[in-house]
Amino acid sequence: MEYAIDFGTSNTVVARINDKGEVETVKLADYSCLIADNPPLIPSLVYVQDAAKEQVLIGQEVSDRGFDFQVRNPQNLNNEQRFFKSFKRAIGSNVSMFVPELDGREVEFELVGEWFLKKIIERLPNVDSLIFTVPVDSFESYRNWLGGVCEKLAVNQVRILDEPTAAALGYGISGGDETLLVIDFGGGTLDLSLVKLSFAQVQIETNQSKSPLDFLLKWGDRTIKNSSPSNNPNSQTAKVLAKTGQNLGGIDIDNWIIDYFHKELGLPKNSLVTRLAERIKIALSSQESVTEVYFNDQTFESYELTLTRSQFRQILEQQQFFGNLDSALDRVRQQALRQNIDLANVDAVLLVGGTAQIPAVREWALQHFPSQKVKGNKPFEAIAHGAISQGWELKDFLYHSYGVRYWDKRYKKHNWHTIIKSGATYPLEKPVELTLGASIADQPSIELVIGELGETNVEVYFEDQRLVTRVLDGKQVAAQILNENSKAIAKLDPLGQVGRDRLKVLFQVDEKRTLRITVLDLLTKQKLLEDIAVVQLV
């Protein structure tokens, strides 16, 4: 059986197609949180009982035992270190952070995430294949980590789909062509995607006969082919027109509320205050004013934490929250205009994710779009339901750019030269060429540092044992090195000399999304490397 998993910063949703052929959200005993008017969500929480034996509690069973309400003090500091939330954001990032040692073992966020998903997947019956949804701004290291987790569990097939595109499919179509703007605002990320859904007659050649497809996902002239053709002659097409994303989500808003009460009341920054801040944020979605009580069992003082919607909006404005939303929308608008598409003509604006349910977010959307177009009736399940609604063999476009690192003499620091631009379809029509030379006399070899490049206007850093987001004044290049352990691409014989072109490097991305290189020695006319895989771009 195939399952779709929307692994979220705050909550995780699992979906499948049941025996009746209907898409349903899977409820897992002990793990799922059952709240009125909400689908069965699995809180993305982990409590480590014994790290050496890999014994952990996850989801609702963490809350049921009260571990998410542990207060940081000398009596329960160990419990505090054993409790993990919002760990998804740190997975695959290059942020330096505190790594606790529990039971003689260092527990990194990647390991916590692995334990969390492992417990969920092991509870699912008859797992043949999995579809994971990921933020559009996720780096390949995060996608590779997902693949590694599934490889350890011997899952036969793993596919990946970006979250806002899945959300558009999850809301479905009304029977005609539609252009949808998806605003996916969860606990850790903000993703916007413009997707064109339409009916089309599509046929493909097979070894035996022609068969129609249910869904195709296109970027330019590239196509995602369905792995299990259906008997429906009216196949549907989902074309991604534009998308953008950034590290900004509900946990940042929680941190801003904590900072507000820390400044106003002198409250400490611990897990209990964090949980209270989260409860206040959620309650303000349906109430004009919320009050929670915090009791400090060390000083025996109690505090009333009161926040109104007006005060909450002021906090958001001070943190440039709405400016960030405007910037993200502008990036999608610019991409759309390059294709002669006006966002004013979209058929619907879909609000997805818990953070998108904040009234201030909906009010922001209504400032840009008519009320009849803004929809938010499926905030938690749309992504997982959209991912499982069809069988996918994903071949998406390259969202990030890829480049090589060089020493910038002008600014006296390393910088990046782009070799493959964002939005490129693959396999590449022709290889990208780069000529290299020696930087010192008698150089024995040449190294090439290859990185995945993106842009960001937010900085994520670790403070007071929490991941914090800070809005930057301008955009910065965000880069992750892909070949950390294999930088040397060629030994030079004879030795390289300054001022002479020595190597020609050909870069190619094949149909399996693998970055490959061929290296030619311009002096000896020999091929030193031919079509060597550098990294799998999952």
Q: Is residue 377 part of a domain?
A: no
Alpha-carbon distance of 212 to 230, in angstroms, equals 7
Checking if the pLDDT of 253 tops 90, the result is: yes
Write the DSSP assignment of 87-104 as a string of letters: -GGGTT--------EETT
Checking if the pLDDT of 312 tops 90, the result is: yes
Select the more confidently predicted residue: 37 or 472.
37
Checking if the pLDDT of 321 tops 50, the result is: yes
**Region at 477 (left for phi over 0; alpha for psi -120 to 50; beta for the rest):** beta
Checking if the pLDDT of 331 tops 50, the result is: yes
- Among 163, 181, 203, the domain-final residue is 163
Alpha-carbon distance of 11 to 58, in angstroms, equals 11
pLDDT computed for residue 232 by the predictor: 41
Q: Is residue 254 part of a domain?
A: no
Q: Is residue 157 part of a domain?
A: yes
Alpha-carbon distance of 405 to 9, in angstroms, equals 31
Q: Is residue 525 part of a domain?
A: yes
Distance of CA 420 to the CA centre of its chain: 21
Alpha-carbon distance of 105 to 499, in angstroms, equals 50
Residue 39 lies in domain: 2-163
Q: pTM of the full predicted structure?
A: 0.66
Alpha-carbon distance of 222 to 346, in angstroms, equals 23
- Among 163, 178, 207, the domain-final residue is 163
* Long-range CB contacts for residues 107-111, cutoff 8 Å, separation at least 24: 107/48, 107/51, 109/84, 110/145
- Among 121, 144, 163, the domain-final residue is 163
pLDDT computed for residue 153 by the predictor: 82
Longest dimension (CA), the chain: 79
Which is nearest to 246 in space by CA: 301, 295, 184? 184
Rounded mean pLDDT, 104-117 = 94
Q: Is residue 82 part of a domain?
A: yes
Checking if the pLDDT of 270 tops 60, the result is: yes
Q: How many CB atoms lie within 10 A of CB 108?
A: 15
**Local structure of 475: helix, strand or coil:** strand
Q: Can you give the CATH number for the domain in which 121 is found?
A: 3.30.420.40
143: pLDDT confidence band, cut at 50, 70 and 90? confident
Alpha-carbon distance of 249 to 356, in angstroms, equals 9
pLDDT computed for residue 244 by the predictor: 86
Evaluate whether 184 touches 349 at the Cβ level (below 8 Å). Answer: no
pLDDT computed for residue 234 by the predictor: 40
Question: Which ranges in 266-397 belong to alpha helices (H)?
Answer: 271-283, 309-318, 321-337, 359-368, 382-388
CA angle 213, 215, 218 (to 5 degrees): 115
Q: Is residue 137 part of a domain?
A: yes
Select the more confidently predicted residue: 406 or 461.
406
Q: Is residue 308 part of a domain?
A: no
pLDDT computed for residue 413 by the predictor: 82
Q: Can you give the CATH number for the domain in which 453 is found?
A: 2.60.34
pLDDT tens, 15-32?
999 888 889 999 999 999
Checking if the pLDDT of 159 tops 90, the result is: no
Kind of pairing, strands 157-162 and 129-134? parallel
Q: Which amino acid, 105? A: R
pLDDT tens, 352-404?
998 998 999 999 999 999 999 999 888 999 999 988 875 443 334 576 788 88
Number of domains observed in the structure of the chain? 2
Average pLDDT, the chain: 80
Burial (Cβ within 10 Å: 0-12, 13-18, ≥19) of residue 371: exposed
Evaluate whether 233 touches 210 at the Cβ level (below 8 Å). Answer: no
pLDDT tens, 48-81?
999 999 999 999 999 888 766 543 333 343 457 8
Checking if the pLDDT of 486 tops 70, the result is: no
Q: Is residue 282 part of a domain?
A: no
Evaluate whether 31 touches 123 at the Cβ level (below 8 Å). Answer: yes
